[in-house]
Amino acid sequence: MNDASDAARPNEAPEHFVREMIAADVASGKHGGRVVLRFPPEPNGYLHIGHGLRPITLNFGLAQEFGGRCNLRFDDTNPVAEEAEFVDAILADVRWLGFDWGEHLYYASDYFDQLYLWAEELIGKGLAYVCDLSSDEIREYQGTLTEPGRPSPYRDRSVAENLDLFRRMKAGDFEPGARVLRAKIDMASSVLPMRDPVLYRIVKASHHRTGDRWCIYPMYDFAHPLSDAIEGVTHSLCSLEFTDHRPLYDWCVENCSVPSRPEQTEFGRVGLTYTVMSKRWMKRLVEEGHVRGWDDPRMATLAAQRRRGVPPAAFRNLARDLGLTRRNITVELARYEHAIRTELNKTAPRVMAVLHPLKVVIENWPEGHVEEFEAVNNPEDPSAGTRKVPFSRELYIEQDDFLEDPPKKFFRLAPGREVRLRAACLVKCESVVKDASGRVTELRCTWDPATRGGDAPDGRRMQATLHWVSAAHAIPAEVRLYETLFSVEDPMGAAAEQGVEYTHFLNPKSETVLTGARVEPSLAGATPGAAYQFERLGYFAVDPDSKPGALVFGRTVTLRDEWAKVQKKGG
RNA sequence: UGGGGCGUCGUCUAACGGUAGGACAGCGGCCUUUGGAGCCGUGUGUGGAGGUUCGAAUCCUCCCGCCCCAGCCA
């Protein structure tokens, strides 16, 4: 994790309340001075940017800082929602972000036997009972935000009867919904989760790991604190919405004979503008075909960001820079993109690619003659070296880089004007060839042999430097340009406000597929996942859709673009 | 409405009773063989009202606003 990207800001991250708390606990010898954290995803879907920017980087990062460890535990207590496929995807995402759980990969389902024993312990202590109320009835008895609940008629069953019933629940004697095991706490509590919460329910579904061995499954509120205790977790970090559950977390740990005393601390979640993060809403985008799949580069999943070419270091660095508070926050897309550019600027090799080719013929360059110019691979990193780029009589430049009648602040090529071709030479536009409709189809230029390499011996300065490829040597490639999936900052908020579906705000231009692009020949062997900067255009990654001889690039993020800004202001 | 959480530039975030600072965005400029990168400059933002204090973003009181909780989801 200490790669070059952190050089500008060595080691120490800014302080925040959780770091201070852990430091204080270590100093005071609490938990024996140990630091054990955990990242506890439920394998019921894909991880998203919010996970990458907070819980993952926070837990694994703090564990590293304090020389402790971070367990990766799947909170798989609900077989109807969970699948092994998601386990694999989550593992891959965490690994991709650069974290290692070592031997500490766990599953809450591995603790089912122990959890069951603790449930019986609670029954024995008179702290839990089997309740025959239906879920509707339980809700009725629960009261409301302002009114206290009423005790279940089954609340005072004997220990023996509870034990018998619970064992029969486990044995499969009852149907789902017939009975549940509830904690006996306080039906009048102002904290709703304390009103005799359900601890176990009957579920007759196959579990991705335990199969059909169980037909009763523990609820999160029971399984989570006890799983933490089993693993010796010292600091159980979770998001704000679990704050109300903390009293119950503590109740479980206090009333079961657990081997350790973990403590829960809550932090705020991270959201991103122009995207939707929730599982349910992302799922709809996939199912309704608005995107190519869960890893479509426009999606907010980590798998999608990886495919798009986002470097994992950008996540770690941005997560660190965001700090940590007890507030749910929304990060501006620009800040996410900034983190990506900062990283890629240091690491991505530069290369030339022409997205919308415009033919250029160098009239004073001999037919059939080829020369190789030496191009710098990364001006930010001399160790990246140089490469040879072939130059010949017929080239392609970007259509956007020529205007027959240029406006004031347009510095690029125009009739009679001279510009530099990156790493090559200076060329001057002598004339323009048009088709019958008047469209410019070709530029006739001349080059100045004295400017080989790009510098003019007489010192004349160029207003612009253009990227280019040699027509005969360039490789055709498909290039996919991405913009935000939604056209408004807060799709869910806007939908609620305007009373329309959030899909109403899908950006029709979120993906543009270009099939006529040409890239320089050095890219011939590029492999999926590789990230490049297409000079003057942006950062692009080789998409896994690429096949031998048929490269597909996807745009990770554009370069900052002053000209685009000028145009926007003028238009 | 009961309980809980939270209010500092547009967005994040510092300041832990002693000059409200940084990052991103924006704006202006410099530089440039990427209109990239880099560099320089640019901001009266502490939700409100009282109070305590020599001094309050920070402590107290009241008010206002936003978020979370009434799954046999996590």
For the stretch A328-353, pLDDT in tens is: 999 999 999 999 999 999 999 999 99
Question: Does the pLDDT value for residue A463 go beyond 80?
Answer: yes
The integer distance in angstroms from the CA atom of A282 to the C1' atom of B35 is 37
CA distance A405 to A20: 62
List protein-proximal bases of chain B (any atom < 7 A from a CB). 1-8, 10-16, 23-27, 33-38, 67-74
Using alpha carbons, select from A96, A108, A101, A99 the residue that is nearest to residue A41. A108
Is residue A6's pLDDT more than 50? no
How far in angstroms lies nucleotide B26's C1' from the CA of residue A568?
14
DSSP 8-state class, residue A2: -
d(CA A526, CA A529): 9
d(CA A397, CA A412): 11
Name the residue closest to the C1' of B2 by its CA.
A146
- Per-residue model confidence (pLDDT) at position A569: 81
Between the two ends of chain A, the Cα-to-Cα distance in Å is 44
| A308, A485 Cβ separation under 8 angstroms | no
Structure-token pair, residue A376: 């710098």
CA of A216: how far to CAs of A92, A158, A223, in Å?
A: 30, 21, 12
Distance A560 CA to B38 C1' (A): 13
The confidence score (pLDDT) of residue A12 equals: 65
Give the distance, in angstroms, between residue A400 CA and nucleotide B30 C1'.
27
In angstroms, the CA of A245 and the C1' of B50 are apart by 36
A461 CA to centre of own chain: 43
Mean pLDDT in residue range A301-323: 98
Q: Which nucleotide is the nearest neighbour of A74, by CA and C1'?
A: B74
Per residue in A388-420, pLDDT (tens digit) is: 999 999 999 999 999 999 999 999 999 999 999
Residue A224, SS3? helix
Task: Indicate which residues of A carry an active-site annotation.
Answer: 42, 269, 279
Report residue A154 as tokens: 């089954």
* Nearest DNA or RNA nucleotide to A411 (CA to C1'): B35
In which band, very low, low, confident or very high, does the pLDDT at A570 lie, cut at 50, 70 and 90?
confident
pLDDT average, residue stretch A99-125? 98
**Which nucleotide is at minimal CA–C1' distance from A379?**
B37
CA of A59 to C1' of B34 (A): 39
pLDDT reading at A30 higher than 90: yes
* Mean pLDDT confidence for A285-289: 96
CA distance A150 to A142: 6
Instruction: Tabulate helix, strand, coil % of chain A (nearest 5).
Output: 35, 25, 40
Q: What integer pLDDT is reported at residue A7 of this predicted model? A: 31
Calculate the angstrom distance between C1' of B57 and CA of A286. 46
- A13: phi then psi, degrees, rounded to nearest 5: -85, 155
Residue A413 (CA) to nucleotide B13 (C1'), in angstroms, measures 44
Among positive and negative, which fits the CA dihedral A259, A193, A179, A128? positive
Q: Which nucleotide is nearest to A132 (CA to C1')?
A: B72
Euclidean distance between CA atoms A535 and A45, whole angstroms: 37
CA atom of A359 to C1′ atom of B9, Å: 49
Residue A11: per-residue pLDDT? 47
User: What per-residue confidence (pLDDT) applies to A1?
Assistant: 32
Looking at chain A, the whole-number percentage of residues with pLDDT higher than 70 is: 98
The one-letter code for the residue type at A255 is N
Q: What are phi and psi of A236, to 5 degrees?
A: -100, 100
Cα A78 off chain centre by? 25
Q: Nearest residue to nucleotide B14 when comparing alpha carbons to its C1'?
A: A14
> Which nucleotide is closest, CA of A455 to its C1'?
B33
- What is the pTM for the complete model shown? 0.96
- Name the nucleotide nearest A421; use CA and C1': B33
As given in the structure block, the two tokens for residue A8 are 């500008």
The predicted pLDDT at position A571 comes to 59
Residue A312: the pLDDT is 98
The answer to whether residue A14 scores a pLDDT higher than 90 is: no
Strand nucleotide closest to residue A217 (CA to C1'): B72
pLDDT digits (tens, 9 = 90+) for A157-195: 999 999 999 999 999 999 999 999 999 999 999 999 999
What integer best gives the mean pLDDT of chain A? Answer: 96
For the residues A77-86, what does the mean pLDDT come to?
A: 97
- Nucleotide B74: nearest residue by CA–C1'? A220
- Indicate whether A229 pLDDT > 80: yes
Q: A29-33, A288-292, A458-462, A567-571: lowest mean pLDDT where? A: A567-571
Nearest to A432 by CA among A402, A464, A462: A402
